Amino acid sequence: MAINFDLNDLQAFRAVSELSNFRRAAESIHLSQPALSRRIDKLEAALGVKLFERSTRHVSLTTVGRAFARDAARLLDDLDNALLGMRGEASSSLGHVTIACVPSAAYYFMPQVVSRYHAAYPRIRISVLDAGANEVLAAVASGEADFGLNFIGSQEPDIEFKLLLQERYVAACRRDHPLARKRKVTWRELYQYDYIAVGKMSGNRLLLDQALTDMPDRPPSICETRHVTTMLGLVEAGLGVAAAPAMAMPGAGHPVLTSVPLVDPVVTRRVGLIRRKGRPLSPAAAHLYQFVAEMKSVRGKAPRQTG
């Protein structure tokens, strides 16, 4: 029996299933909302099932719709892969890649990667899932993200961890702060000033606490944040100083923030690309994976010494 729907109907279905909103889905595939609704109605009629539960404010997949969404996504991804393989490039094809990334790498590092990738492959949509280290690991393990950029995951049996760089923690401060004139700063010198930290649920906090166990007399922070990027915002506002991974810091041209190497002890973290073992990346995702790997040199250098 012939089934009367086409590729455009499947793309419309995927857009609604991903965005859970007809208006945003219509905008994402450059259709009017009535035209999108007609495509969904046509697909449901052809399949003889109801794919969405719809109200004036909410759209959700039915049980059958959730199962079909997995199959449709696989079919469309396979088609994208076949087209990419024939053309040898992704610049002229549609696609979607999701990368999960810890916030300390998302703010200054990832925009450079996304900019280069979008210039090369303008029709591929990129989703950046910025979340804590454990959430990034979970997103990759579950398949929510194609791959991730993280500093944990090397011990997971089902995760492949490709080391990109080993970066050190630096003292983050304003350029007009006394520490900015030093060539290096000890942790004890850092703690002489109002100190801002990430909270105990942060992977960076756990790493620092483990590395600094020989300094039990560390003073309490004046403020704690959930993410490194928020912490740096408070430093930039003049509320204090902080310890941050070098990748989280802006470049040398930033007008306010600067960094100084932290010593006694030198604390480092291993940052790498994580992906599920035994699950090949689509060509579109593989290209982005390679772009991230190639950009490591941009942030992987030793932090700038001042003074």
Kindly report the CATH number assigned to the domain that includes residue 25.
1.10.10.10
> Which residues lie below 8 Å from residue 201, measured CB to CB, with a gap of 6+?
132, 226
Tokens of 244: 């941050």
Length of the chain: 307
Domain assignment present for residue 304? The answer is no
Is residue 249 domain-shared with residue 100, that is, in the same domain?
no
Amino acid at the residue 177: H
- Can you list the positions of beta strands (E) in 175-293? 185-186, 195-198, 223-225, 241-245, 257-263, 268-276
169 — pLDDT class (breaks 50, 70, 90): very high
CA 259 to CA 262: how far, in whole Å? 9
Cα–Cα separations (whole angstroms), residue 54 to 10, 11, 74 = 18, 19, 24
Is residue 220 domain-shared with residue 172, that is, in the same domain?
yes
**Residue 217: which domain range?**
168-268
Question: What is the distance, to the nearest Å, from the Cα of residue 249 to the centroid of all Cα atoms in its chain?
Answer: 16
Is residue 185 domain-shared with residue 160, that is, in the same domain?
no
Q: Identify which of 24, 8, 20 has the alpha carbon closest to the alpha carbon of residue 94.
A: 8
Which of 86, 107, 125 corresponds to the end of one domain? 86
Is residue 261 domain-shared with residue 172, that is, in the same domain?
yes
CA 289 to CA 232: how far, in whole Å? 27
Across the strands, what pairs with 268?
168
Cα–Cα separations (whole angstroms), residue 233 to 112, 151, 179 = 20, 22, 18
Domain assignment present for residue 305? The answer is no
What is the pLDDT, as a whole number, of residue 93? 54
Is residue 234 domain-shared with residue 160, that is, in the same domain?
no
91 — pLDDT class (breaks 50, 70, 90): very low
Question: Is a pLDDT exceeding 70 seen at residue 94?
Answer: no
Is residue 50 domain-shared with residue 69, that is, in the same domain?
yes
Question: Is a pLDDT exceeding 90 seen at residue 295?
Answer: no
Under 8 Å between Cβ of 137 and 277:
no
Under 8 Å between Cβ of 170 and 301:
no
Domain assignment present for residue 1? The answer is no
Tell me how many domains the chain contains: 3
Is residue 205 domain-shared with residue 252, that is, in the same domain?
yes
Is residue 158 domain-shared with residue 277, that is, in the same domain?
yes
Residues 215-228: what's their mean pLDDT?
A: 90
Question: Is a pLDDT exceeding 60 seen at residue 297?
Answer: no
Is residue 142 domain-shared with residue 286, that is, in the same domain?
yes
Domain assignment present for residue 306? The answer is no
Tokens of 201: 């649920």
* pLDDT tens figures, 116-165: 999 988 888 899 999 989 999 999 998 889 999 999 998 899 999 999 98
Is residue 140 domain-shared with residue 230, that is, in the same domain?
no
Q: Which residue has the tokens 């990759």?
A: 140
What is the pLDDT, as a whole number, of residue 80? 67
Cα–Cα separations (whole angstroms), residue 33 to 16, 28, 36 = 11, 11, 5
CATH number for the domain harbouring residue 173: 3.40.190.10
Domain assignment present for residue 73? The answer is yes
Is residue 93 domain-shared with residue 131, that is, in the same domain?
yes
Q: Which residue has the tokens 């399949």?
A: 47
Domain assignment present for residue 260? The answer is yes
Domain assignment present for residue 63? The answer is yes
CB-based burial label for 278 (10 Å; 0-12, 13-18, 19+): exposed
CA 139 to CA 185: how far, in whole Å? 37
Is residue 251 domain-shared with residue 178, that is, in the same domain?
yes
82 — pLDDT class (breaks 50, 70, 90): low
CA 89 to CA 233: how far, in whole Å? 39
The pTM of the full predicted model, rounded to 2 decimals, is: 0.66
Which of 29, 52, 86 corresponds to the end of one domain? 86
